[in-house]
Structure 1
């Protein structure tokens, strides 16, 4: 019954009493009155518009079938919230069983085991220690070439050295590091 009929202005308790006796229009008024609130609540619980509609519809069907179980007809709304809550939680439980954990969290890179991480860190420490023992000009040339990617010409300009000197310093630096890092091969 739409419009301003007598059922529209009736209390929840009156509508529940009538619906309990099989008055379908009375229950329709209850559903229109409380449906929007139940939908918003279900959407908040589920995080989904589509599922919220289904849950609310199922909940009102359950409410219609179990209306005789409602002890206090004036507490229709809290009673319906309980039904919606149970239905929404059931949906969440079913959804949870189908989550693909591979999509949620990628497995760790098998190359990054704790042992490999420690070994890499120790190798880097050994490299930095070897660089500290290297003559300053060799170290500066090597760092500019290997870490910054500078060309021989750029290194020569940066350090104000002839290109031939840069080539010699880099050759000595590589031989030195090769000898120092022999144990890490």
Structure 2
């Protein structure tokens, strides 16, 4: 059964106007009323629960700081959803850069000699280059699922795909990566 808190309507126009005027009690009511809606949207859009929580908090902080800049009271939901979407995309972009950096610098196995270390570095470069040669859609799903370790459902949701479509794309990416690595071997 859905949480009753998420079924509450957005705060009404009077509360929004009072909050815009700087009324502290109205700002508090506005934030409490917006929280479940913002959280639900962040959960559906962000790649992880932690990112959703962080995006929710960031959106509510922006609401607190900038409610006076909202021009139309009816635009509150749209404004908040835009903030959350931008924050989720920002967090995903940072995560993606971090994963790409890890892939390019990650030795594939520990080495016990200088020769093994050199071979591991060459192998890591070959894997990185093969991943970089994948089409963007395949590279994206492969990195999110296999490198970053997100669940299949999370990856599918983030990419706007059905779970079977995500699995199919991941299968093609793995096959293309395997073929790319066999070419250099």
Q: Which has the higher helix share?
A: 2
TM-score by length of 2: 0.49
Q: Which has the larger radius of gyration?
A: 1
